[in-house]
Structure formats: structure tokens, C-alpha cells
Amino acid sequence: MVDSMPIPAGRKARRRAVANRRAGYTVPDQKNEGGGRTMRVQVAIVGAGPAGLLLGQLLAKAGIDAAILEQRTADYVLGRIRAGVLEQTTVELLEEAGVATRLHREGLVHDGIHLCFDGTRHRIDFRELVGKTVTVYGQTEITRDLMHARVAIGAPTVYEAEQVSLHDLDSASPRVRYASGGNVGQIECDFVAGCDGFHGVSRQSIPSSMLRVFERVYPFGWLGVLSDTPPVAPELVYANHPRGFALCSMRSTTRSRHYVQVPLSERVEDWPDDRFWDELRSRVDSDSASALVTGPSIEKSIAPLRSFVAEPMRYGRLFLAGDAAHIVPPTGAKGLNLAASDVHYLTRALVRHYRQNDDALLNGYSARCLRRIWRAERFSWWMTSLLHRFPDTDAFGARIQQADLDYLVGSRAAAASLAENYVGLPFED
Ligand code: FAD
Ligand code: DHB
């Protein structure tokens, strides 16, 4: 499905097409040899997750035209329940993209979180410790807002694009090919943005000799349940318990998102709702347990935990952004926020290229992103180590974890360090 008309090849035609499209007109398709469509845009974006959609929106604001290819349907993308916590810098980027009206109306500003261990809840007050807050607003809602904004500006998005393949990435005129409705489509462009997540085709299109990969796979996953029930507390509760980690989160004052740590061998089918609620209740403090309102799950899934970084995030004219280049375990709530910060740096670099014919920011893109990514990788790994039960945690390891938690709630410096990282580190210039 193409939700607006594609752009014909050729520079003059492209300028005319862009002007037409902005004015609300449609333009005829340019047929390629395969009988399919050829589009000519400045940036081809692979993937319509938050990274791809946000990049498309910020580029459109800057007058740079981009087409997005997404392998799934829009409804499928909207059906994936994922992140929920936004750093202030992510909120500001969404404002810049012009898609923050509903976020400001419906998002919940949180001044802190609770850490729960030994049956007691301890509050970490971000506002008091570092003067910043986070906003709870679901990734699904951000995606919906970005999709609506994209349709409103008439920018091209091809959903259900199959067999997406990247070509001539090391030349000045890369191409992206895809199949849609039985035809072969092609996008000719100046740059390709690989925003297609961990399993996407973009990173795999880089010769393996050009990439260095760093990875840690954790021996457990998160079983998540979404329900139309009120949250147990006004702020998130992260729990360390001998039975394993638990998290009480939310999407609104009437919708909750809860997680429990499970072995990778577990299957969702083995977790009827009652079993999930009993397990969650057993892992949290008594106040949270007695405030827990249970109800039918609307969504239930198991997510494996992984740390992963691919370096560098560029190959020729291909730039990776978001989960295509890096994964963090979700404990620190950093994945979506990192995707947003990559998009911020990539937008600035592309704007500098087109407006000032200066590639310094494009050349520095990977190194600049990676400095922030590795800090988030460290924080997410540390939060995961602090709060989960590992199969090989011996008595010594358990005492170290305990001491780390005691230090955290007993030392302002330690709590401030957690707060500074959780609310998000500032962007570099
Ligand atoms: P994705 O969201 O994966 O989007 C990539 C898109 O590319 C998808 O739509 C996919 O269909 C498409 N695609 C893939 N392959 C192709 C192809 N070959 N051709 C075309 N399209 C393709 N992060 C936070 O910041 N805060 C949180 O609280 C948080 N909680 C999380 C909880 C869970 C349980 C999970 C699993 C993740 C969580 N995250 C969180 C992480 C966050 O959801 C991801 O980091 C974020 O989705 C990354 O966005 P993205 O656009 O880079 O990738
Ligand atoms: C949520 C997910 C996280 O990984 C996290 O750290 C906090 C909240 C969530 O889905 O609400």
C-alpha cells in the first residue's frame, strides 16, 4: 500500500513533484523497466518504526524529501507494545517534529521512580536530585502521532514492502529496491537511512569485514502484560526479588504495563493471566501488592534481553539509526530514546550537507552517536545486573547486588548518578 503518490526521477521532475505534493496535487508514476514505480528522493528511509518516522518528519520540516519503506502494515507496526518512558530530550525532539500536542495532553510527567528490594520501596527523586523529569507516553502513541503527521504532509510511505534490498551504497547514487503488489519498485536517492530495527536488512547490507559487533545475551526475558487496570503507584516500581525482577509501569492512569523476569525457556501460553498476577504480586512490596488491581490482559508477550552495538554506524551512503545499530536491555528504558538521539544527529548532519554543502557532521555521525550509545549501554547493563537474578549468581554475587542497592538508596551521590542517567544525558553539540 502506498499512502501518497511517489515522486518521478530526475532533478527538475523531482522539484516539481515535491511542490505538487506539498500543494496537495498528485503526480503520475514513473514506470521502471520492471513495470514498477521509480521514485527519486533525497533520502530513502528503511523502516517505519519510531526512528524512521521521526527522521522522515524532521527531514520534511527541513525541506528534505524522503520516502519510507516498511515491510509490515501500519496496523501491525501500531500493534507492537514496546517502550513507555521518554527522556526530556526525546520530548523536545517530538516538539521540534511538530507531533507533541497529544503527548503534552495525555503524557504523564514523572518526577522519580521507586526501587523495591527486601520488601521495602525506596523513592529516587529525579527532580530533587538532578532537576529533571521523564514522561510516560507509549511508543505506540508516538508512532500513531508520527504516522498521522506523515499522512498530513503527503509524504510517501510504502507499507508491506517486500524483499527490500540496498544497492550501490558505496557510490554517490545508492538505490533501494523492493517488491510491492507483484511489482518491483525502486528508490533512487542520495542517502539511505537504515531505521529497520535489529532484524532489518540495512545492517546486513554492510560487508561484515567493515563492521565490529559487541554483544551480550542475557539468560532471561521479560514477560509483559498490558491491562486496562490502574497502576499500583503514581510512579514506576522496579523490584529486585529472589524470585526475579518485576516492573510495574503504566501507559495512563487507567492502563498498566507490568513485567516479570522469566527464563528464556518460558512460553506465553504457559502464563494464563492469574499465574502472571500471582507472580507479580509475590515479587513486589506489600503496599504495591495490596494496591495491585488485576484484570484481563490486552497483550502478553516475552521479550529476550540483549546488549548489542555495531560499529561504525555508517557504510558509504548508508547511515544506521536506532535498533538497527544497537540494542539495550529494556531495564534502563533507553532503546527508544537512543533511537531518537541518533535521529537528532542524523537530521542535523543531513541538513548541514544540503544547506551548506558541508559533510563534517555526516563524517562525525557514527562517532558522535556511539559516545552516547555506549553510556546508555553501560547504564542499561548496570541496571539489569542490579535488579535481575542471574542463574549463576552465587552468595557472593547476591551480597554485592544487595550492597549496590543499599549504597544507591543511602547515598545522594549514587542516587544522583542513577537519576542523571535515567532522565537522559544531554546531547553533544
Ligand atoms: P523498530 O521499532 O524495531 O522499527 C523498525 C521498523 O523497521 C519496524 O517497523 C520493522 O517492521 C521495519 N523493518 C524491519 N526489517 C525491514 C525490512 N527489511 N524492510 C523494511 N522495513 C523493515 N525503549 C525506551 O526508550 N524506553 C522504554 O521504556 C522501552 N521499553 C521497552 C520494552 C520492551 C518490552 C521492548 C521490547 C523494548 C523497549 N524499548 C524501550 C526499546 C524500544 O522499543 C526500541 O528501542 C525502539 O522500538 C527502536 O525503534 P526503531 O525505530 O529503531 O526500531
Ligand atoms: C517500560 C519499559 C521499560 O523497559 C522500562 O524500563 C520502563 C517502562 C514500559 O514499557 O512501560
Contact 43, 50 (CB under 8 A): no
Ligand 2 pocket residue status of 84, Cβ below 6 Å: yes
Per-residue pLDDT of the chain (429 residues; tens, 9 = 90+): 433 323 233 444 445 344 334 432 223 345 555 557 899 999 999 999 999 999 999 999 999 999 999 999 999 999 888 888 999 999 999 999 999 999 999 999 999 999 999 999 999 999 999 999 999 999 999 999 999 999 999 999 999 999 999 999 999 999 999 999 889 999 999 999 999 999 999 999 999 999 999 999 999 999 999 999 999 999 999 999 999 999 999 999 999 999 999 999 999 999 999 999 999 999 999 999 999 999 999 999 999 999 999 999 999 999 999 999 999 999 999 999 999 999 999 999 999 999 999 999 999 999 999 999 999 999 999 999 999 999 888 889 889 999 999 999 999 999 999 999 999 998 887
Residue 323 CA, closest ligand 1 atom number: 52
- In angstroms, the CA 205 to CA 314 distance is 11
Best of 108, 137, 143, 249 to mutate for ligand 2, by most ligand atoms within 8 A of CB? 249
pLDDT of residue 296: 98
> Model confidence over 220-245: pLDDT tens digits?
999 999 999 999 999 999 999 999 99
**Do 327 and 311 meet the contact criterion of CB atoms below 8 Å apart?**
no
For residue 343, give the ligand nearest its CA.
1
Give the active site residue among 178, 218, 238, 365.
238
CA of residue 190 to ligand 1 center, whole Å = 25
Cis peptide before 329 (omega within 30 of 0): no
CA of 187 to the centre of ligand 1 (A): 23
Is 110 a known active-site residue? yes
Contact 232, 248 (CB under 8 A): yes
Question: What atom of ligand 2 comes closest to residue 136's alpha carbon?
Answer: 11
| Closest listed ligand to the CA of 231 | 2
28 is annotated as an active-site residue:
no
Nearest CA to ligand 2 atom 5: 333
For ligand 1, whether the C-beta of 342 sits within 6 Å is: no
The C-alpha atoms of residue 429 and residue 348 are separated, in whole angstroms, by 10
State the Cα–Cα distance between residues 97 and 61, nearest whole angstrom.
Answer: 7
315 counts as catalytic? no
Nearest Cα neighbor of 373 from 414, 427, 319 is 427
Sheet holding 85-86, edge to edge: 85-86, 134-136, 108-110
Which residues is 304 bridged to in the sheet? 221
336 lines ligand 1 (CB under 6 A): yes
Measured from the alpha carbon of residue 383, the closest ligand is 2
Residue 30's pLDDT is what?
53
Q: Is the CB of 303 under 6 A from ligand 1?
A: yes
Catalytic residue among 8, 110, 114, 137: 110
What's the pLDDT score for residue 8? Answer: 34
Question: Which ligand 1 atom is at minimum distance from the Cα of 72?
Answer: 11
CB 334 less than 6 A from any atom of ligand 1: yes
Nearest C-alpha to atom 52 of ligand 1 is from which residue? 322
Looking at all shown ligands, the one closest to residue 379's CA atom is: 2
Distance 363 CA to ligand 2 centre (A): 33
Structure confidence at residue 79 (pLDDT): 87
Pocket probe mutation, ligand 2, options 90, 116, 247, max atoms within 8 Å of Cβ: 247
Q: Which of ligand 2's atoms lies nearest the C-alpha of 83? A: 10
Ligand 2 pocket check for 134: Cβ under 6 Å: no
- CA dist 229 and 227 (Å) reads 5
Query: Is the CB of 339 inside a 6 Å radius of any atom of ligand 1?
Result: yes
Which atom of ligand 1 is nearest the CA belonging to 321?
52
Nearest ligand 1 atom, CA 202: 18
Ligand 1 site, residue 194, Cβ cutoff 6 A: no
Distance CA 280, CA 310 (A): 35
Query: In the Cβ-directed half-sphere of 7, how many Cα atoms lie within 13 Å?
Result: 30
- List 330, 353, 365, 388, catalytic entry: 330
Strand partners, 246: 239, 260
